Structure 1
Amino acid sequence: MTYQEKLAQIRNQMKADNVHAYIIPSADPHISEYLPKHYKCIPFASGFKGSAGTLVITHDHAGLWTDFRYFEQAVDELKDSGFELMKQKVQHAPEYIQWLIEKLDKGSVVAADDKLLSVLLGDLLTQQFAVKEISLTSKDYLSPIWENRPALPSEKAFLIDDKHIGQSVRSKLAQVRTALQKQGASHHLISSLDDLAWLFNIRGKDVSYNPVVLSFALINQKYATLFMDEDKLSIEEKKDLWSNGVEVLSYTDIEPAILDIPANSSIFIDPKRNCFAFYKLIPASIRIIKDTNPTTNLKAVKNETELSNTRAAMLKDGVAITRFLKWLSENIGKITITELSAAAELRKFREQQEGFVGDSFNTISAYKAHGALPHYGASEESNVEVKAEGLFLVDSGGQYFYGTTDITRTIPMGNNTEEESTDYTLVLKGMIDGCKVRFPKGTCGCQIDAITRKPLWDYAINYGHGTGHGVGYFLNVHEGPQVFNASATPVAVELGMITSVEPGVYRPGKHGIRIENLVNTIADVSNEFNEFYAFEALTIAPISTKIVKKELLDQSQIDWLNSYNALVFEKLSPLLNADEAAWLKAEVKAI
């Protein structure tokens, strides 16, 4: 079927049910950011492959709501699909709700699959639609028309030994139960895959790039039940979980388990990370407590084992990045190098590192104008040759036993313009200021975000994405609860949190520049004014100084850059051969 034929069949079902609008979010019953193929509903229905967006279908209009990161991609991928790009002003904001309220008549019916709506979104839709007496009903109009829909993944999962995690499952469950007691909750439902992977020290291959396992958990003060495909674990692994107080039941047993929660109990759920369908199953006699999963906060603060292993992973990654940069510099103009072949070469260098499992996300290999698309993904159709001129942006990461990396370097390829040099230096200034900041305990991400942006704001330049996101431990490359962006998210930056710092400049049709390091929050100074924190550089890879306009940097920024690149040479040179070490020494020469 063509996308227009699919759209017509969805509308036929809507008309048969007297439904006036149908919402298709990018989600699964775990409210995941990255989805297994079974739940890639938006690509199936419209052809749009971006990782964030919402489709809304009425009888006379079909639109995709997504943010600026995907505007050019969406225009290309939605061509002839019957869907129109609806440009979203704010990242992740459900702006289509107000559009529907304005377009639909009083008493209209809107449908969505409740398993793909978060509790937060389901409540918001219900409340806002009530103003115009619009009702929300649960419908799945995709399954009836989705021929050969991919099955749920069935690859084996595995447990990580406690010694590689630094904490046992039993100990983690005790922490969760303490949090439940403080909230006055007798039960706790967890659906978010990274929280479950952290809590049960389990990893898998159910979602590309994220080593998670499709599962749910129901916990009370005595028992913990993990609902997943039981065949994914060996008998020994299930016994291991049992010894930690965890019973493993079938993935599909979660719904009857919710219905069987004893009357007059209380249940704790995260409204952002549980689906509306399960929320509606909770018996009326049960008191519902809504807040962030305790595991989300516990997972964000890495222990010493996790930090030590992450540092080791960063060194392996730094070796791979250094070898890639050397290869690129020595072969450009001599052999044909494209965006895709460069990404493949970087992957080869990572594969040579002990403990490498796979990429932590789809590598962004973006030359010249493609760099202006923050989430560009090179394809056979878009792939271009990288030449000895302009700027080449590479944003990539690796999953290692044990650690997750995420790094961006913008590489000057030669014959760079004044504008490119200025933009590069301003991004570098912002990145340095974000990495070298000292801040008092209790500081939130929006404050770090503003400090990082100021060097760009001084030149009336801004970027539309956040400055930083949390990163998991051999887990999801995007992890909460901390985030460095303009929203006043009331989450303090705590000791042991791993976060990215990645400002950028994007000039459509010209170039994109982003420079990214991961940092760990460490204690700095304690005095009569407060405890002050700082950032430890975790990413260890050279930052090019070839086109830096030194006159735009202040002395503290110059000192930081020289010190950082010196640290890179100190840490990596013992892991390189003589030729590689000599190349790196020249690359990180002080300015």
Structure 2
Amino acid sequence: MFQSFDPASDRSFAAQHLPAMREEMQKQNLDGFLVPHDDEYLNEYLPDNAERLMWASGFSGSAGSAIVFVDSAVIFTDGRYTVQVREQVDDQYFAYEDLTSMPPEAWLTKHGKEGQRIGFDPHLHSANHVKALKAAAKHAGFELVAVDDNPIDVAWASRPASPMTPVDVHADDFAGRSSAEKRAEIAAVLKDKKADAVVLTAPHSLAWLFNIRGRDVHATPLPLGRAILFADGTASLFIHPDKMSDAVETHLGNDVSVYPEAKVGKHLDRLGGKTVLIDPAIAPYWFVRRLKKADAKVLEGADPCALPRACKTPVEIEGSRQAHIRDGRAVTRFLYWIATQAQDGTVTEIEAARKLEEFRRQSNLLRDISFDTISAAVGHGALPHYRVTTSSDRTLDRNSLYLVDSGGQYPDGTTDITRTIAIGTPSPEMKQRYTLVLKGHIALALARFPKGTPGIQLDTLARMHLWNAGLDYDHGTGHGVGSYLGVHEGPQNISKKPVTQPLMPGMICSNEPGYYKVGEYGIRIENLIVVNNPEPVEGGDREMMSFETVTMAPLDRHLIDTSLLTQVERDWVNTYHAVVYDKLAGELEDDVRDWLKSATAPI
């Protein structure tokens, strides 16, 4: 659930913890050690016992890395965390580097020294990343050492226990397909690739393949574990027995054998002589190394669960619609509260974030938030991934903009929505730039495109009106979203990045163009959209795909400069608002319903 913290207290982490870590490094004859922001599952969100980067440095962001040497250290973060890393990490102990332009492997290529022994934990780096590290080692002349005992784990005296939450059955009524059907589909892929088995290291794939969910990770309903699926459709699931119940084992059936996760290594050893598929982009290096040591024939390729997981079943799509209606009522109650109770400049970012979660909880179906709420007033809105802290918390000042990006995890769907709201009276510039963002949002929402189109070919639609005004934004336009799973899910993507995966029917993506004026305000409009099946176009000779918008909540009409909209764009806003009112009004309180009627009135 929503968490706030005080980064000022974290600046002492390096002073407290680096000496013990360095003592262990010296025992292992290491000159340096790599500290990624990753756990053994390479998850986006980490359980407390895996926050090694935070323990060593104090940095609590979701993307980063560090290299600790015996007499110095360097920390890498991207542009989202330029301010935060300096607030949390003491520059007496760490130098700062940009993760995008100078990732750790590039830094080591430039600064690594002949004869140095640089250690890494093979459980915490993907096989592909280790290839890059090995190339850096070869170029610079240092020795890259895979350690058996992570120095942080040895030095971390009060390390929290591993999460031990129960596994839940994700009913077929939510999934739309049984686990047996999914296992048969992936087994057919293995046969086509002439593979005997696939090793699944990503908890998202376990959750999808076996129709199970868990509570081991904040904001994502993951059960932590591993699996091996064989070409005959049988599987071995490796998960701590204390997480399992008779009901879950009955659900899995006789074709799935369950073992403690600690036994996975021995089962990998039994794959000697077999052709084994594994995804080097997301599999820890330890797995690939173990398979090769067992003389398995390692077949590198994409996780075969990723694409079918992304293409939602009709049941999952309908579940997403219902989750967004439910979530939309909560967001609408919040927007009504902002409009009637938070316009005087006294409400704070943390108060607003907690109020929004309170409205979501009222459904009694909220399982968790889907990510840490971005509750950003005034200049904080210009930080696209701002996370409010107890020390940064500020008021929603009058005559400013408030940006709130949030989402919920429900049994039938995962939501992610951003609304930008005027507090008091917005300036003409705010309205003009909000409307340019809205025009890009509408252009993407209305897009038609042929089969085989990747998101990079649609990204320009969301930016073109901003570009014409000499403006842009530095994040992607859309990411994939799971079905009661991760709020960030591949392989689809809508951005400038050269991702070649075509958009396919059933994929859920975000549509979130924005604009950010540093130090003053931020604007983002985000709805989730589902890729529709191809349909004929009148007068055309090719079928075209399109998007269905499933997010249901009003836009702030006070921020729309209608003179900048075409008739098609006005029609889109009016049609969208009519649907929002129709879907939400029936179960809202009278005062909220009356406000919604006004908020969705035609422009």
TM-score bucket of the superposed structures, by smaller chain: over 0.9
Shift of 1:227: 0.5
SS at match of 1:409: strand
Matching residue within 513, 516, 532 for 2:526: 516
Describe the superposition over 1:218-250 as per-residue Cα deviations: whole angstroms up to 9, x where unpaired.
11124301101112121232122124x111110
8 Å contact kept, 1:395–1:406: yes
**Cross-structure match for 2:508:** 498
8 Å contact kept, 2:432–2:561: yes
> Aligned equivalents of 2:383 and 2:59: distance in 1?
15
**Cross-structure match for 1:274:** 283
**Cross-structure match for 2:113:** 105
> Aligned equivalents of 1:450 and 1:424: distance in 2?
17
> Aligned equivalents of 1:181 and 1:118: distance in 2?
25
* Stretch of structure 1 that moved more, 19-28 or 534-543: 19-28
| Correspondence 1:5-84 to 2 at 5 A | 5-79=16-90, 82-84=93-95
Matching residue within 572, 586, 589 for 2:598: 586
> Aligned equivalents of 1:2 and 1:319: distance in 2?
42
8 Å contact kept, 1:46–1:81: no
> Aligned equivalents of 1:549 and 1:239: distance in 2?
58
Matching residue within 556, 566, 577 for 1:565: 577
| Correspondence 1:178-327 to 2 at 5 A | 178-222=188-232, 223-243=234-254, 245-261=255-271, 263-284=272-293, 285-327=295-337
> Aligned equivalents of 2:600 and 2:411: distance in 1?
29
Amino acid at match of 1:168: S
8 Å contact kept, 1:29–1:274: no
Matching residue within 394, 400, 403 for 2:404: 394
> Aligned equivalents of 1:296 and 1:12: distance in 2?
41
SS at match of 1:520: strand
Shift of 1:15: 4.2
| Correspondence 1:358-507 to 2 at 5 A | 358-507=368-517
8 Å contact kept, 1:332–1:388: no
**Cross-structure match for 2:9:** none
Describe the superposition over 1:398-433 as per-residue Cα deviations: whole angstroms up to 9, x where unpaired.
111211100000001122223222221121122111
Amino acid at match of 1:489: V
Amino acid at match of 1:132: A
**Cross-structure match for 1:128:** 136
**Cross-structure match for 2:126:** 118
TM-score by length of 2: 0.94
8 Å contact kept, 2:13–2:58: no
> Aligned equivalents of 1:454 and 1:173: distance in 2?
43
> Aligned equivalents of 1:46 and 1:546: distance in 2?
44
> Aligned equivalents of 2:316 and 2:480: distance in 1?
14
> Aligned equivalents of 1:364 and 1:333: distance in 2?
19
> Aligned equivalents of 2:190 and 2:533: distance in 1?
29
8 Å contact kept, 1:31–1:272: no
* Stretch of structure 1 that moved more, 56-65 or 202-211: 56-65
SS at match of 1:116: coil
> Aligned equivalents of 1:568 and 1:55: distance in 2?
46
8 Å contact kept, 1:4–1:81: no
8 Å contact kept, 2:58–2:89: yes
**Cross-structure match for 1:87:** 98
SS at match of 2:330: helix
Amino acid at match of 2:213: R
What fraction of aligned residue pairs are identical, expressed as a percent?
35
Amino acid at match of 1:201: N
8 Å contact kept, 1:55–1:63: yes
Describe the superposition over 1:461-492 as per-residue Cα deviations: whole angstroms up to 9, x where unpaired.
22221111111111111111101121111100
**Cross-structure match for 1:170:** 180
8 Å contact kept, 1:25–1:54: yes
> Aligned equivalents of 2:460 and 2:523: distance in 1?
18
8 Å contact kept, 1:300–1:481: yes
Shift of 1:579: 2.3
**Cross-structure match for 2:4:** none
Q: In the alignment, is residue 552 of structure 1 matched against residue 564 of structure 2?
A: yes
> Aligned equivalents of 2:385 and 2:241: distance in 1?
36
8 Å contact kept, 2:40–2:124: yes
> Aligned equivalents of 1:378 and 1:484: distance in 2?
27
Describe the superposition over 1:566-590 as per-residue Cα deviations: whole angstroms up to 9, x where unpaired.
2111211122233222111111122
SS at match of 2:38: coil
> Aligned equivalents of 2:69 and 2:345: distance in 1?
51
Shift of 1:58: 3.1
> Aligned equivalents of 1:85 and 1:434: distance in 2?
37
Inter-CA distance 231–89: structure 2 relative to 1 (3 Å threshold): closer
> Aligned equivalents of 2:159 and 2:270: distance in 1?
31
Amino acid at match of 2:57: S
How many positions carry a matched residue from both structures?
Answer: 586
> Aligned equivalents of 2:80 and 2:344: distance in 1?
33
Shift of 1:334: 5.8
8 Å contact kept, 2:444–2:461: yes
> Aligned equivalents of 1:123 and 1:202: distance in 2?
33
Inter-CA distance 132–332: structure 2 relative to 1 (3 Å threshold): closer
Unaligned 5+ runs, structure 2: 1-11
Amino acid at match of 1:82: Y
8 Å contact kept, 1:355–1:402: no
Q: C-alpha root-mean-square deviation of aligned residues, in Å? A: 1.8
* Stretch of structure 1 that moved more, 38-47 or 456-465: 456-465
Inter-CA distance 184–328: structure 2 relative to 1 (3 Å threshold): same
8 Å contact kept, 1:441–1:530: no
> Aligned equivalents of 2:13 and 2:307: distance in 1?
44
Inter-CA distance 459–18: structure 2 relative to 1 (3 Å threshold): farther
> Aligned equivalents of 1:419 and 1:8: distance in 2?
52
Describe the superposition over 1:192-226 as per-residue Cα deviations: whole angstroms up to 9, x where unpaired.
11111011111111000100111100111243011
Amino acid at match of 2:599: E
Inter-CA distance 549–236: structure 2 relative to 1 (3 Å threshold): closer
8 Å contact kept, 1:107–1:132: no
Describe the superposition over 1:426-457 as per-residue Cα deviations: whole angstroms up to 9, x where unpaired.
21122111211111111101112222122222
Describe the superposition over 1:353-400 as per-residue Cα deviations: whole angstroms up to 9, x where unpaired.
142212111111111111111111112211112233200011000111
8 Å contact kept, 1:522–1:535: yes
SS at match of 2:515: strand
Amino acid at match of 2:405: D
* Stretch of structure 1 that moved more, 59-68 or 498-507: 59-68
Describe the superposition over 1:59-98 as per-residue Cα deviations: whole angstroms up to 9, x where unpaired.
45422211111111111111356122212345xxx72212
Amino acid at match of 1:26: H
> Aligned equivalents of 2:83 and 2:542: distance in 1?
46
**Cross-structure match for 2:350:** 340
> Aligned equivalents of 2:351 and 2:16: distance in 1?
36
Amino acid at match of 2:143: S
Describe the superposition over 1:97-147 as per-residue Cα deviations: whole angstroms up to 9, x where unpaired.
122111122343221111100111012211332233332112311012111
Amino acid at match of 2:246: I
Q: In the alignment, is residue 530 of structure 1 matched against residue 542 of structure 2?
A: yes
